[in-house]
Homo-oligomer: A and B are copies of this chain.
Amino acid sequence: MNSTIPTVDDLRAAARRIEGAAHRTPVLTCAALDDLSGARLFFKCENFQKAGAFKFRGACNAVMALTDDEARHGVLTHSSGNHAAALALAAARRGIPARIVMPENSSRAKIRAAEAYGGRITFCAPTLSARETTATRIHEETGAVMIHPYDNFFVIAGHGTVALEFLDQQPDLDAMIAPVSGGGLLSGIAIGVSAASPGMEVCGAEPEQADDAARSLREGTLQAARPGETIADGLRASLCERTFSILRQREVKIITVSESEIVQAMLLVWERMKIVIEPSSSVVLAAVLKEKEHFRGRRVGIVLTGGNVDLEKLPWTK
């Protein structure tokens, strides 16, 4: 199971598993953003999801899928943010401990959220190797089951439920677009859409400062992340072999956007839609506005992935 790829049946099983625990989030529209984009936009509001992000879908599915024996010593992950809070909440629902390794430069709002749901946090240096070493040590000490933020069968299947739910609410979309970081969400969506609505385009949006998915799919081989800083703090991870192969096989198109395009799109959503989304969510609207010709006149489903922001420190205030 640990290296295999979920099918749409696994997504449907995940949907049953998380039903009642996860919110069925609303789909909003906005006439002003339709005018601006020249397309008809539908926004799936996962910023209203439990723990403020889509991550709860995958984390909850993974925690609920554990046997009692597996769950006995709790769960463990490394995450810079939303997966941490989501896993802590999912574990709390099951009554088991969640141990979280977080890079010390994680957003304050995200640290507070993981703590508020009862996560036991260990900080580490902000590198992938520090995250993995620390997690391995805690696993050896406690026996907690590692729930990787995206390289995990049940996490991908859980995230994919958002596509099935979105298509159920809005069946007549021409394209669906979501952010890509480690690729768990976008992979799950690609699996769901290609089965439930074959022929519909699936796109990913990525910061130029963290463009490994775009480069990997262009080159046809998995490319390493390049050092770079993006305001989209949820999009700093890189594809793994599993998510890369899913995206490649389904011919997912990736659009990259600049930092200022991300901030402008975020401000537009707050101003016009009156909802709070984080920069990692606004990459998607930024991508649709950047490639206007590609989307013009089409019905586009946008996954707004999360709303966990440090409200004291907004990118458009100095």
Can you list, as one digit per residue, whether each of A221-254 has a CB less than 8 Å from chain B (1) or not (0)? 0000000000000000000000000000000000
Which B residues are CB-close (under 8 A) to A69?
none
Q: Does A2 contact B (CB under 8 A)?
A: no
Report how far A244 CA is from B64 CA in the complex, Å. Answer: 56
Q: Does A140 contact B (CB under 8 A)?
A: no
Which B residues are CB-close (under 8 A) to A48?
28, 273-274
* Nearest B-chain residue to A276, judged by Cβ: B274
Counted per complex, copies of this chain come to: 2
Q: Is there an interface contact between A312 and B307, defined as CB atoms closer than 8 Å?
A: no
Instruction: Select one of B47, B109, B317 contacting A317, CB under 8 A.
Output: B317
Which B residues are CB-close (under 8 A) to A307?
274
Can you list, as one digit per residue, whether each of A130-141 has a CB less than 8 Å from chain B (1) or not (0)? 000000000000
* Nearest B-chain residue to A318, judged by Cβ: B312
Max chain B C-beta neighbours (<10 A), residue from A109, A274, A313, A316: A274
Min CB distance A170 to B, Å, is: 15
Per the 8 Å Cβ criterion, residues 167-202 of A in contact with B are none
Instruction: Select one of B271, B276, B311, B316 contacting A275, CB under 8 A.
Output: B276
Can you list, as one digit per residue, whether each of A275-304 has a CB less than 8 Å from chain B (1) or not (0)? 111000000000000000000000000000
Q: Is there an interface contact between B276 and A311, defined as CB atoms closer than 8 Å?
A: no
Q: Does A128 contact B (CB under 8 A)?
A: no
Min CB distance A56 to B, Å, is: 13
Which B residues are CB-close (under 8 A) to A276?
270, 274-276
Instruction: Select one of B26, B270, B312 contacting A311, CB under 8 A.
Output: B270
Report how far A270 CA is from B308 CA in the complex, Å. Answer: 10
Q: Is there an interface contact between A311 and B271, defined as CB atoms closer than 8 Å?
A: yes
Report how far A274 CA is from B52 CA in the complex, Å. Answer: 8
Q: Does A147 contact B (CB under 8 A)?
A: no
Min CB distance A60 to B, Å, is: 15
Which B residues are CB-close (under 8 A) to A66?
none
Can you list, as one digit per residue, whether each of A34-48 has a CB less than 8 Å from chain B (1) or not (0)? 000000000000011
Per the 8 Å Cβ criterion, residues 1-15 of A in contact with B are none
Which B residues are CB-close (under 8 A) to A275?
274-276
Q: Does A125 contact B (CB under 8 A)?
A: no
In the complex, 26 of the A-B residue pairs with CB atoms within 8 angstroms, ordered by the A residue number, are: A26-B26, A28-B48, A47-B274, A48-B273, A48-B274, A52-B274, A109-B271, A267-B311, A270-B276, A270-B311, A271-B311, A274-B275, A274-B276, A274-B277, A274-B307, A275-B275, A275-B276, A276-B276, A311-B314, A311-B316, A312-B316, A312-B317, A313-B317, A314-B314, A314-B317, A317-B317
Question: 7 tightest A-B contacts by CB?
Answer: A274-B307, A274-B276, A47-B274, A275-B275, A270-B276, A312-B317, A270-B311
